[in-house]
Structure 1
Amino acid sequence: MTERALAGAPEEPVETPGAILDRAAGPLETVWENELGGLTFRDRTAGRYLKWVAAGTPELDLDAEAARLRWAAAQGARVPSVVEAGSDRSGSWLVTAALRGDSAVAPRWIAEPGTAARAIGAGLRELHDRLDASVCPFDWSIERRLEQAEERLSRGIGPADWSPEHRALSIRQARDLLRDAPPVDEPVVCHGDACAPNTLLDESGAFLAHVDLGALGTADRWADLAIASWSTVWNYGPGYEAAVYAGYGIEPDPERIAYYRLLWDLS
């Protein structure tokens, strides 16, 4: 699989950074480790989550995430409130208030994937409707992401690192496909990483909030929808993509879905 498969709760104990220990009010639980080594801890005593990124990991910018969370919250989006963000020589951290809900990949929702998938779509619709793209200071456009794709290709990341759906493409073929972008359907403020783990559901299975908004910015709504639906395959298995579109209230657009999934893989 691709890099995405490497993210999840760590199976082995991890060393808790000193900066995180300094900000903990009680015992910490390591709840997530991403493919770049970023860690997320839960502090149940304080009702907070603490994210950590080691120095020298430019792909993960917690200051940028804090800025996006604050902006989105001020615009009325349902996101965690920022308690603190900072850095030192060893790395950076972001502390947010916990919300009373569970990730869409919590065991309960893995067992009820149709409910979860529909809530993911409904949550994206709320985000896209609530935030005003005309005043958003953050960009997630095709142009910016094509620059990121070229940077990754320059580091030797190629077909072997892509999803199985795209591995038969050569780099030249992939570039040609990405240069032929479909017209923007509707510009919105996108989540930027609308995978299932980044949607929180309430006890009834309704959308509660979004987390991990480090890439939030203006883009076509299909940039989010294509990945949100795709992530249901990774997390629940086949058969639940339609529930995302139904929750959003839209019919699938195969051309844009295919384009934004390829762009995701390369960028």
Structure 2
Amino acid sequence: MHSNSAPLAAIPTGPVAVPLRVRELTGGRALVPVWVNGLGGSTFHDPDSRPSPRFIKWVPAGTPELDLEAEAERLAWADEHGALVPRVLASGADESGSWLITAALAGESAVAPRWIAEPVTAARAIGAGLRILHDTLPVAECPYSWSAAERIEQFEQRLRTGSGPSEWDPAHRHLTLADARARLADIPDLAHPVVCHGDACAPNTLLDATGRFTAHVDLGTLGVADPWADLAIAAWSTEWNYGTGFEDLVYEGYGIERDPARISYYRLLWDLS
């Protein structure tokens, strides 16, 4: 996840300290840091684990924004219903933090250097992967919601904790609080709900060596919503990761015409909530 108002998350370019609990959980083996974010969360590759490689995600205590228990539940549900996602091996928490251990999947992130250099291929694959996810997971059986109404309440909670327009993306900073509330209250009709990823930014799509979609990761907010709640953000994230000019390729890969009104609405909701 990333926007001008979100905590920075990225592939690390230098050493990352391995938390004590993570060292214990992985038997002291040499780990490869693969992702860090501004909230203190980190993900490590454990290539020498047996019987097969795995990943361990870590969140320090006191970080309610990152709920690994919720992610473990959603991953298990999505895996059970045929989505291409990591298999959960273990999860837990103690006074130091929480962790989620998953089986390693083939492929690499759509923001790996290889795909940063081939954004046309990557952007189309991000859209194709979302279409597969949305077509696979059964809305009627999904126990999780990612509704606009719930997310508007998250926006109000952020306001109560001191967040405000100065933290919004530049695309939205011209709005007054009253304008933003009015726009968010005008929720588009939910004509075709799907089970959304919930954080469909480019880094959370895995591609194979030929540039085809292989899997999704980081499904901590998976739930039923408008497909544009995913699509608008997946396409927006191509700007953050590849530069301008690639977002329509996401819609092309998905097989849908752009919907400017829904794109505008769900980007505002993403940014503010």
TM-score with structure 2 setting the length? 0.95
CA distance in 2, matches of 1:261, 1:252: 14
* Deviates further, 32-41 or 243-252: 32-41
* Deviates further, 27-36 or 238-247: 27-36
Q: Is the CA contact 2:55–2:104 (under 8 Å) kept in the aligned structure 1?
A: yes
Q: How does 1:134-173 map to 2 (within 5 A)?
A: 134-173=140-179
Is 1:13 the counterpart of 2:15? The answer is yes
CA distance in 2, matches of 1:2, 1:13: 25
Q: Is the CA contact 1:195–1:231 (under 8 Å) kept in the aligned structure 2?
A: yes
Provide the identity percentage.
62
Superposed CA deviations along residues 143-197 of structure 1, whole A, max 9, x for unmatched, are 1101111001111111111111001111111111100112124100000000000
| Aligned-residue offset at 1:4 | 3.7
The residue aligned with 2:35 is 32
The residue aligned with 2:214 is 208
Q: Is the CA contact 2:7–2:37 (under 8 Å) kept in the aligned structure 1?
A: no
CA distance in 2, matches of 1:182, 1:228: 19
| Aligned-residue offset at 1:104 | 0.2
Letter in 2 for 1:102: E
Candidates 78, 96, 100, aligned match of 2:102: 96
Letter in 2 for 1:132: P
Letter in 1 for 2:66: L
Is 1:74 the counterpart of 2:80? The answer is yes
CA distance in 1, matches of 2:5, 2:209: 31
Provide structure 1 residue ranges, at least 5 long, that are not aligned to the other structure: none
| Aligned-residue offset at 1:88 | 0.6
Candidates 105, 113, 121, aligned match of 2:119: 113
CA distance in 2, matches of 1:141, 1:13: 38
Candidates 46, 50, 54, aligned match of 1:43: 46
| Aligned-residue offset at 1:12 | 4.8
Letter in 1 for 2:20: G
Secondary structure of 2:171 counterpart? helix
| Aligned-residue offset at 1:48 | 1.0
| Aligned-residue offset at 1:72 | 0.1
Q: Is the CA contact 1:185–1:221 (under 8 Å) kept in the aligned structure 2?
A: no
CA distance in 1, matches of 2:260, 2:7: 24
The residue aligned with 1:178 is 184
Q: How does 1:251-266 map to 2 (within 5 A)?
A: 251-266=257-272
* Deviates further, 48-57 or 194-203: 48-57
* Deviates further, 125-134 or 36-45: 36-45
CA distance in 2, matches of 1:3, 1:42: 28
Q: How does 1:122-137 map to 2 (within 5 A)?
A: 122-137=128-143
Secondary structure of 1:145 counterpart? helix
